[in-house]
Chain A
């Protein structure tokens, strides 16, 4: 069965500094990986996903994620953090065979400090 881990409950970063939110996964077969963001009092919003191809995936709002098969990781990154990036970030994975069975990680709260 697939699973997702986000080892950090909380990440703090100064505005303008690069940010990284970590994610590791376990899945049978080829992984399909996602990042979602949740702002206060809102539902989750899709940021980006990896299916195949280039290991560096670019998404919304200047975010990107790097797929590393050997380390089974899919870390979310942004070169320069904004205060408005402060939110809850979820990594998710699904197995190759089913579109509707997506497993979400526990979430990482990102705080960007002015």
Chain B
């Protein structure tokens, strides 16, 4: 295991539902990431949090709302999603600042989301 956990592993939701994805890292890192992985498409960086501050938002629709209450936890709140949002959502962490800074990212196993 990489030290990054994600729950749930699978989620099926209707377009009117509200749900949240959770990510937790046990590595002491200060940066966390959400990626979207769709079939036949490159890995898409959605959000980056560095020291709990959002430093990147790659034009993600507002129906995806991230939350980073501390450097160990990251949430992705979902509401009124579309079928094309069905994908594998991956969380990652890294140590992005300081003496121990490294660009190596550690990924969780992902949440397989299906929007009906």
Q: With contacts A43-B109, A43-B110, A106-B41 known, is A100 near B104, CB below 8 A?
A: no
Instruction: Decide: B31 and A100 in contact? CB cutoff 8 A.
Output: yes
Instruction: Decide: A49 and B42 in contact? CB cutoff 8 A.
Output: no
- List residues of chain B with CB within 8 A of the CB of A103: 45
B64 to chain A, nearest CB (A): 19
Instruction: Decide: B42 and A100 in contact? CB cutoff 8 A.
Output: no
- Number of B interface residues, CB 8 Å? 29
Q: With contacts A42-B109, A43-B109, A45-B2 known, is A107 near B102, CB below 8 A?
A: no
A93 to B24, alpha carbons, bound, how many Å?
Answer: 25
Instruction: Decide: B104 and A46 in contact? CB cutoff 8 A.
Output: yes
Instruction: Decide: B103 and A32 in contact? CB cutoff 8 A.
Output: yes
Taking a contact as CB atoms closer than 8 A, the residue among A34, A42, A46, A99 that contacts B101 in the complex is A99
- List residues of chain A with CB within 8 A of the CB of B82: none
- List residues of chain B with CB within 8 A of the CB of A44: 43, 90, 92, 105, 107
The digit string for B35-59, where 1 denotes a CB below 8 A from any CB of A, is 0000001110100101000011000
- List residues of chain A with CB within 8 A of the CB of B42: 104-107
The digit string for A79-114, where 1 denotes a CB below 8 A from any CB of B, is 000000000001000100001111111110000000
- A-B contacts, 17 of them at CB < 8 A, read A32-B103, A34-B103, A34-B104, A36-B107, A42-B109, A42-B110, A43-B92, A44-B90, A44-B105, A44-B107, A99-B94, A99-B96, A100-B55, A100-B96, A101-B56, A102-B105, A104-B45
